[in-house]
Structure 1
Amino acid sequence: MNQDIPPTLEIVEHDGGKHLVKLSGSWNIRSLVAVPGLNREISSYAADKNTQWDMNSIAVLDSAGALILWKAWGKRMPDALQMKPEHQRLFERWQGVEIPQREPVQSRSRLIITYTDRLLAGFWTQLLQVVTLLGQLVLDIGYLLLHPGAIPWAEISITIYESGVRALGITALVGFLIGIVLSYLSALQLKIFGAEIYIIDILGLSVIRELGPLLAAILVAGRSGSAMTAQIGIMRVTEELDALSAMGISHSLRLILPNVAALTIVLPLLSVWTSSMALIGGMVSAQTTLGINYQQFFDKLPDAVPLTNLFIGFGKSAVFGLMIALIACHFGFRIQPNTESLGNETTNSVVAAITVVIMIDAVFAILFMGIGMP
């Protein structure tokens, strides 16, 4: 079969020392793969513009073979070229077409540097966008102070119910179980040193100051933050955001402000609720493992945990709520009108919100290191 003849290249001296390159065989992709050095050989002869080419003996020529010859010729037809009419059409398709060049292979270190640059640039861009949302939020608050009738009470109320009231069950369960686990593990160590009574100090400080607000924020970020992002994303997919813009309704005033206000109000209350359930779980475990009764727990707790810790927990919870809502809205508006973007940005929203919550908690721990300690 003609398709099985390998591609060959023959050099013939012609017309006073000029070279005639005679091509024969099958110049298709299947045959060319078997002769890897043929491309360099063609390019070396094509460098001489006086070289003549004879392609009449080629049995089979496909687009791959024509492209190799076309690139070797410098993306133009040689002056002295003989070929079959049916092969002419394969070269005509490449005339005026920009052939993409292969990108040079980068070293591993260069790839790492490029990836790091893109990561930092993306982080900086998103940080500026979040700051822009925060600035727009301040402007909206100023507008509402001058126009109290425009406050979106209905949206704020609905968000408080969805993010706060409907989260009471899961936060109570998680808080109660964490209190039991923390109390049980602490009791095992305190028994060794005969310091069972200090379990009240450990539970009070760790739960009211740290674990309660942090657990509530993480649960709200995973539950309500993702819901806010998905809700805005669905509005993008269904073109509701475009409809709001067409009607002159502000996105920030009707979507961002209610979410931020609701979470800023509801998260401190949820943190108190979660802390209370964690303390109840701790009391149950302490009474079971150490024999500390409930009355003794209630009498010792105010002395072990100053009231300042409750205010610190309140303050950080409000900041948590503000940042969770801002991040959820930020990633919601980044969603493109397709389902893949919806899933990716919702995941990014939850991860970013939880990360920011932990970072803010670390900042609060450093700033208020010596405050509220008994």
Structure 2
Amino acid sequence: MHEAGTLPAENPAWPEDGPVDVEPQLQAGSAAEWRVSGDWTLLALRGRYEEFRLRIAEAVAARGDALWDLRELGRLDTAGALTLWQGWGQKPPARLLWLPEHVTLFAQFLQHAALPRRRPRLGPGLALLRARLLGFASHAVDLTALVGRLLLDFVHVLRHPSLIAWREISANVFRTGAQALPITALVGFLVGLTLSYLISRQLKTYGADIFVINILGLAVLRELGPLLAAIIVAGRSGSAMTAQIGVMRVTQELDALSVMGISHTVRLVAPKVVALAVSLPLVALWTSALMLLGGMAAANAQLKLDPVQFLHTLPNVVEPVNLWLGWVKSMLFGGLIALLASHFGLRVKPNTESLGQAVTQSVVTAITLVIVVDAIFAVLFSDVGL
């Protein structure tokens, strides 16, 4: 407390009873030693940062293997540590003596994340390509992990049949199979009608009317029937599966299953994969039948081709291997659609925007991969059944 009639000193750095800054010192202890003493703080170094930084840099340049002794430091804060660090060239000297309390201050500079780094900027096109590639790699890794867990759970379920979710499989067969029959019937009939009408017009020009049965039977049973059914089911049932699992993520039901020790793949993914692999071949057969029915109606109207002759000639011109090939592709399509739907559903974040994006990505990816796999089958089995 000041005496009456006297004024305190102007702008004291510390209270009268507090510590007083000691002049920071940098002295050469010997030919190969530098001693740092005094207070290296924000107030003690005020206005002299660049001076000390240059002195330290000159000392390092003159003798890079010199010993730096920090044990006589009075006080040291982040400003003083940063001055030393920058003078050292942003790396600790090869020979350094310091106190344990100094380690924490310099540790923040030893971490690469704490140092300012300039990342090379990519152009908009390269940045977008990089983001797409990283996203594709992330999906590929997660999908591979999901397939691995599914295979392991299949082995576990075979050893313990009581874990098979029969009711879930039955419900999925009904939703993806029976309830899809009306829409696939309508689309299949109209596509077959249109296709047969266009083919008949061309064949009639060359007097090859009878070959409409060969073209329709082979195209429908081998390619168009399974492909059309898979696309419809991917848009109808695949999106529903993704939305179902995604809503469970939003409402934290998936977390509840994990807490109870119930596997997501056993309870959710496996029943959908099995159900769709079973139901899609039947839906594809139904779609193919309706496409042939529409083609037969158009051939009768355009070419006056008798329906009885159409049905009698069809088994003779289309080998049974084409039907089996279509069934095998349909089973593969069904499992792939269910697997992708489950994959995108499990990746949904707990918000509605992520749910909508996942449903869209699920449908687009499933339809794209179905077409790609169908093209691969067409190339590999180009000499089978033709």
Q: Which amino acid aligns with 1:127?
A: A
Does structure 1 residue 118 correspond to structure 2 residue 131? yes
Cα separation, 2, equivalents of 1:224 and 1:368:
28
Structure 1 residue 203 corresponds to structure 2 residue 216: yes
What's the TM-score, normalizing by structure 2? 0.69
CA distance in 2, matches of 1:104, 1:363: 42
Partner of 2:337: 324
Question: In structure 2, how many angstroms separate the alpha carbons of the residues matched to 1:131 and 1:315?
Answer: 22
Shift of 1:117: 2.1
| d(CA) in 2 for partners of 1:155, 1:106 | 50
Q: What is the match of residue 185 of structure 2?
A: 172
Gaps of 5+ in 2: 1-49, 51-115
Structure 1: distance between partners of 2:272 and 2:120? 47
User: Following superposition of structure 1 onto structure 2, how do residues 197-346 of structure 1 map, counting pairs within 5 Å?
Assistant: 197-346=210-359
For each residue in 1:154-208, what CA deviation from the matched residue of structure 2 results, as whole angstroms up to 9, or x when unmatched? 1000000011000000001100000000000001111110111100011001100
- Distance across 2 between alignment mates of 1:105 and 1:366: 44
Q: State how far apart, in whole Å, the 2-side matches of 1:356 and 1:124 are.
A: 16
Gaps of 5+ in 1: 1-48, 50-100
> What pairs with 1:92-131 in structure 2 (closer than 5 Å)?
106=121, 110-131=123-144
Shift of 1:148: 1.0
TM-score, normalised by the number of residues in structure 1? 0.71
1:21-58 deviation per Cα after TM superposition (whole angstroms, max 9, x unaligned): xxxxxxxxxxxxxxxxxxxxxxxxxxxx9xxxxxxxxx
Q: Please give the per-residue CA displacement for 1:35-90, whole angstroms capped at 9, x wherever unaligned.
A: xxxxxxxxxxxxxx9xxxxxxxxxxxxxxxxxxxxxxxxxxxxxxxxxxxxxxxxx
Question: What displacement does 1:104 show?
Answer: 9.1
CA distance in 1, matches of 2:194, 2:152: 45
4+ residue stretches of structure 1 with deviation over 2 A?
103-107
Rg larger in structure: 2
Correspondent of 1:133 among 135, 146, 163? 146
* Aligned length in residues: 280
- Partner Cα separation in structure 1 for residue 119 and residue 154 of structure 2: 53
The offset of 1:106, in angstroms, is: 4.8
Q: Distance in 2 between matches of 1:363 and 1:131?
A: 20
| Amino acid in the other structure paired with 2:199 | S
| Pairwise CA distance, 1:118 | 2.0
Aligned 1:70-89 pairs, distance under 5 A? none
Letter of the 1:284 counterpart: A
The CA distance in 2 between the partners of 1:173 and 1:145, in whole Å, is 39
Q: Distance in 2 between matches of 1:125 and 1:106?
A: 22
